[in-house]
Amino acid sequence: MAAEDRTQDVSALITAGRDREAAQRGAGLHVPPDVRSPRPHGGTTMDPLAQLDQLGPVLGGVVAGIRPDQLANSTPCADFDVRGVLEHMISGATAFAAAYRGQAAAPPDLRDPLAGFPAALGDLAAAISAPGALDATVAAPFGEVDGATFARFVVLDGLVHGWDMAVATGQAYDPSPELVDAAEAFARDTLDPLRDGQAFGAAVEPAVDATPIERLAAYTGRRSMAAST
């Protein structure tokens, strides 16, 4: 990758609050083969575009249910409050959409994260769904990967951050078992080298009665918390 492109990638990561990944990217992180080409897990082969189709309404519903007075609520995601998660996701969506298009990312619009989230997510979905996008090589935060692999990462990241916001704002969050299973399959095959203590921490033991999404959240390092409403 050209030095200019790498610098833009690192800048996008810093803007998104992923400083450790930015440092790794700047140093030229080597991506293991199993991250580049994740193996099917448990027989799950759900198409990444089908995953995105299911993720959009789930995330959109959570964000639509957030009140402005809840933006400062703490979340299970490291040091992010609800506003921080939204800004992180908008920044990531802006950078990732540009990466799929082979362009430099414009600065994200973070003035009103509740209003800006749908457009940012929609633009990312459009970039991923463009003809040939899943087969193209994408400059992801953890190295260059094929578009289908990165789309699965986007779904995992969005699904878990949706849980972060739902827990923080006292909302129900029940994505389909099929979607959660597909995301967990990807996570178990690829996540360990990407655990940074922020977006993804060390796996924790889920509760005995945990739902599928709660088990996935625990695998990504989340601990449940009492919602602040």
Per the domain annotation, does 187 fall within a domain?
Answer: yes
Per the domain annotation, does 226 fall within a domain?
Answer: no
Region of 10 on the Ramachandran plot (φ > 0 left; ψ -120 to 50 alpha; else beta)? alpha
What tens digit of pLDDT does each residue of 21-69 get?
433 343 333 333 333 333 333 345 689 999 999 999 999 999 999 999 9
Task: Provide the residue range defining the domain that includes 90.
Answer: 3-23+46-219
* Cβ-based neighbours of 59, under 8 Å, separated by 6 or more: 121, 158, 161, 162
Per the domain annotation, does 154 fall within a domain?
Answer: yes
Domains: count for the chain = 1
The Cα 159–Cα 32 span in angstroms is 24
Per the domain annotation, does 93 fall within a domain?
Answer: yes
Per the domain annotation, does 126 fall within a domain?
Answer: yes
What tens digit of pLDDT does each residue of 179-190 get?
999 999 999 998
Tokens of 143: 């190295």
Per the domain annotation, does 153 fall within a domain?
Answer: yes
pTM: 0.78
Helices (H), 102-225: 113-129, 147-169, 177-190, 212-219
What CATH number corresponds to the domain at position 131?
1.20.120
Residue type (1 letter), 186:
F
Per the domain annotation, does 227 fall within a domain?
Answer: no
What tens digit of pLDDT does each residue of 94-151 get?
999 999 999 999 999 999 999 999 999 999 999 999 999 999 999 988 889 999 999 9
Per the domain annotation, does 224 fall within a domain?
Answer: no
DSSP reduced 3-state for 145:
strand
